[in-house]
Amino acid sequence: MTLLRFDNVTKSYPGGHTALSELSFSVDEGEMIFVTGHSGAGKSTLLKLIHLSERPTRGTVLVEERNLAKVRGRQVPLHRRRVGVVYQDHRLLMDRSVFDNVALPLLIAGTPSAEVGRRVRVTLEKVGLGAREKARPGELSTGEQQRVGIARAIAAQPRLLVADEPTGNLDPTLAAEIMDHFAALPAQGTTVMIASHDLALVKRMRRRVLVLSHGKLADDISPEELAS
């Protein structure tokens, strides 16, 4: 099943800069896919259109066959329960516990509190932080903080997870470890799309890669092509 589809999508920012130009591609359920390209190629913009932090100027973005142009107002938070996001700088609340950081989006989404506790604990176990739920993010290492960011994004069991340079601040060993956490998600029902300019890391993962150049799709490389 197609989970995500871009149909001739153009995004021009106010002031006239065109970040994406007539972009078309689709992603199947269960894929793990990378988006790469030079600085300014449009990677973050592409993810923002999926997460509804930005809207296309022209063209259509569909998630699970739903045209995102129709997702407005109160439907936006519902959409964000189905589409999780991980940022490079993880954007954790530093004065709240690890538990609270992961719980907050679930509480905002109206999940009953008994269910919140259960889900947060299961999710923290998954990312190897079961014993750190009471810690503040400042007491964790950079890699652990990023794992809290991943836990927060996957606690609601999103259909799709988008991650923008999630290993940008990490050394290669930690980056590989974080990638392993992402790679486990498709088997749990979450399709994953990761923007990264780290070509070596992307190649090592042997997954499909979309290459952007000046807002256009320059290449769509299959795992088999990448291996050869």
Query: Residue 107 and residue 84: Cα distance in Å, rounded?
Result: 15
Q: 48 or 119, CB closer to ligand ATP?
A: 48
For the CA atoms of the chain, what is the radius of gyration? 17
Instruction: Spell out a b/e string for 122-140, using b for 16 or more CB atoms within 10 Å of the CB, else e.
Output: ebbebbebeebbeebbeeb
Q: What is the Cα–Cα distance from 196 to 168, expressed in whole angstroms?
A: 8
SS3 168: coil
Q: Which is nearer to ligand ATP, 87 or 99 (CB)?
A: 87
Smallest gap from residue 30 Cβ to ligand ATP (A): 25
Name which of 36 and 111 has its Cβ closer to ligand ATP.
36
Closest contact distance (angstroms) between CB of 87 and ligand ATP is 11
Of 43 and 181, the one with the shorter C-beta distance to ligand ATP is 43
The least CB distance from residue 53 to ligand ATP, in Å, is: 10
The DSSP code for 221 is: E
Q: How many CA atoms lie within 13 A of 119 on its CB side?
A: 22
- The first and second tokens of residue 104, run together, are 């907050």
Least spacing, CB of residue 38 vs ligand ATP, in Å = 7
CB of 178 to ligand ATP, least distance (A): 18
Residues that bind ligand ATP (CB under 6 A): 13, 15, 17, 19, 37, 39-45, 197
Contact predicate 116/108, CB 8 Å: no
Report the residue number, 19 or 153, with the smaller CB distance to ligand ATP. Answer: 19
Residue 205 is given by DSSP the state H
Name the CA dihedral angle for 26, 29, 31, 32, rounded to a multiple of 10 degrees: 90
Closest approach of ligand ATP to the CB of residue 11, in Å = 8
Tokens 């407005």 -> residue: 72
Q: Which is nearer to ligand ATP, 37 or 149 (CB)?
A: 37
Length of the chain: 228
Give the pairing of strands 66-67 and 58-63: antiparallel
